[in-house]
Structure 1
Amino acid sequence: MQKRIEALAELASQRGQEEQPAQACKVVQLPLWPESVRAVPNVCLRSALFGAIRKGRRRLLEREIIAAVEGLEIRYTGPRLDQGDLGVYESLLHLLRDQSLGQECHTTSYALLKLMGKKDTGGKGGNREILHRSLMRLGATMVEIRAVGRYSYAGSLIDDVSQDEKTREYVIVLNPKLKALFAPDQYTQIQWAIRRELEGRQLAQWLHGFYSSHARPYPMKIETLHRLCGSEAELMSDFAKKLRKALDAVSDACKDYGEAFHYRVEDGLVFLDQTPSRSQQRHIIQQEAKRKRPSA
């Protein structure tokens, strides 16, 4: 009996050694999504992490709490990020969605700019320089994310980014723990054509992303939208004017691509009527089924 026990123990040890390499090589990937959309974690869309800020010098933040919807806490360290940075991040996630997180990805400024629908222009102030600066900002970030009772993430938006001096290729690594932000109900598929239509309109792009992340948008105070988008407008009256123009721009862009986006502003509240996407419709059906399910 003793010999049998020793033999079983040795066999178990051998199996454990065989399984370790397999576990170490476990592949962690983002979910796949269609070419026409860009998948974005809701934490990026329902907060001022990628704000609608003015051009110019950016503030450096150190573990500062970022405005976000109720139930979501974000502490951020790094230079302020804007919607241009979000466009770069969306494109990077899109490019890496079929690769293993945690491993090196090699790409070029040409490939990224082409994916973003931009020309590969060099020189001071050209698209290559703008892209490079954005990648460096994203690599110099530290975010601490907590969603009440659901998930957390602490790390950089880009774990590592460098550029080969000879080939000029970018070498980029994303943290495998980012997968937590891509749980089925924690990310949104943004219609890329509509976002591209709003290029250069910071507030309009933020609004498009924010409302796209809600299957059934509820009325929002103008003051709340001002806080959540990270606006630097000092007078609420000025922001209210910009808000209406931005909402008009989103409405026009959505109409051009056959999507409904109708809003009205009453008593300082913004009401929205939009057509839920297919994934949002499935989410609504699932939520209604849960509510109707009898409790034990």
Structure 2
Amino acid sequence: MTERIARNTSRDRAGELRVLAERTAEAALGAAPGHQLAVLDAAERLDQIAGSLERKAAKESAEPAIAVLPADATVEEVRNARRRQATRRGADVYLPSWSDMAQALPNAFLRSALFGTGRRIQAENERVLSGDQTLLVAGKEVATFQNLTLTFSGHELCQFDRQVYATCLDYYRERPLCPDECPRHVRTSFYEFACRMGNAYSVKAHKAIRASLLRLSFAQMRLRYQRMNIEVPKLLSVTFEDGEAGGDFKGSDMLLLRVTASVAELFGPGAWTAVAKEAVGYDGLTGWLASFYASHSAPRWLSVESLFALSGYKSHFRNFKASLVRALEKLKDEKTPLCSRVASYHFSKDGKRICVVRSEWRTDVRGE
């Protein structure tokens, strides 16, 4: 009882510090130019202390990634549990719930170089469609953010693959994931899939989606997070009923998707983010930054070199800062969804660190 009270006290203190950090960061926007960096530094320090308290409480409570409910749990019980995390009801495992105006991915994907910013989709399409395996990697450690280790095997992935995978998960927004031993699948057409992605259907889009699904079907990964090992033997399985053999692709061609319950382990409390569909559709470095900062709840200083590694930027580091500024300027546009819109950004005096301030922190609060 005493330990539970102590954990709740730590969480309460962390919550208070989070609010204070957010208010301090907001105050920086109205501070005199010469004082903005100092106020942002104070906000970051408060956020770090809050994060330390939250991590301590999380370790002590050892909260499972998947909430477990009895088989006779009510619809309301399931709905409430899914607001925070993946949920098991009897034999059925559900991803968390999110708005139909957004798509969700694990923070481990949004805060790492798993889906790199390289623009090489069309070149890989031809290699993957022809069965070329030369791009496969095995046991590659992917650059990750803070207390996470991610080891990946399969075809290297890009931002287009992130969009495709988020669309695959969107099919499971209101249905349970497939049990590992069950052949159950989701059946859809290439036309419907492209529309769900927010794209117009074309033969070019058909080939790009097909090649991306093949890349994703090879993906395997192992994560180490909060002293837990999470194995994801397969991001998805896919079967095609299309005209690939004769090269006669049509929008009515069918594809059969299967995402298994092992993926739910990535959607624990505070371990996932719902990003507005429009922002999910951004490509390149702009797309990576839009999702990366959507997964945070407060400003913090990061080294430019760290962002370079995390983003999977393919050009030389000397070109990265200019690309970073261009991408952030795009995200300052008033048409950018609030979950990713940038209000301002500040470089340290030596230019080696950057602090990005999102336009809306209060209404989109999520723990680190």
* 2:239 equivalent in structure 1: 162
* 2:166 equivalent in structure 1: 90
* 1:269 equivalent in structure 2: 353
Change in CA separation of 1:260 and 1:51 when aligned onto 2, cut-off 3 Å: closer
SS of the counterpart of 2:93?
coil
Change in CA separation of 1:49 and 1:255 when aligned onto 2, cut-off 3 Å: closer
* 1:250 equivalent in structure 2: 331
Q: Distance in 2 between matches of 1:43 and 1:109?
A: 28
SS of the counterpart of 2:96?
coil
SS of the counterpart of 1:39?
strand
Cα distance, 1:27 vs. partner?
Answer: 1.1
Q: Distance in 2 between matches of 1:277 and 1:195?
A: 21
- Counterpart of 2:145, as a letter, is V
Cα distance, 1:40 vs. partner?
Answer: 0.9
**Mapped contact 2:232–2:263 kept (Cα < 8 A):** no
Larger radius of gyration: 1
* 1:28 equivalent in structure 2: 93
Cα distance, 1:141 vs. partner?
Answer: 1.0
Return 5+ residue gaps in structure 1 as ranges: 1-18, 288-296
Counterpart selection for 2:205 from 116, 127, 146:
127
SS of the counterpart of 1:163?
strand
**Mapped contact 2:154–2:219 kept (Cα < 8 A):** yes
| Deviation readout 1:56-86 (Å, 9 max, x if unpaired) | 6564311110000121111111111111110
Percent of pairs identical after alignment? 24
SS of the counterpart of 1:214?
coil
SS of the counterpart of 2:94?
coil
Counterpart selection for 1:116 from 174, 182, 197:
197
* 2:120 equivalent in structure 1: 55
Q: Distance in 1 between matches of 2:210 and 2:325?
A: 33
Cα distance, 1:271 vs. partner?
Answer: 0.9
Backbone CA RMSD of aligned residues: 2.5
Q: Distance in 2 between matches of 1:216 and 1:24?
A: 33
Aligned residues: 254
**Mapped contact 1:204–1:250 kept (Cα < 8 A):** yes
| Deviation readout 1:106-134 (Å, 9 max, x if unpaired) | 11111110011111112xxx101101000
Given the two structures, how large is their TM-score scaled by the length of structure 1? 0.78
Q: Distance in 2 between matches of 1:141 and 1:74?
A: 12
**Mapped contact 2:143–2:309 kept (Cα < 8 A):** yes
- Counterpart of 2:161, as a letter, is D
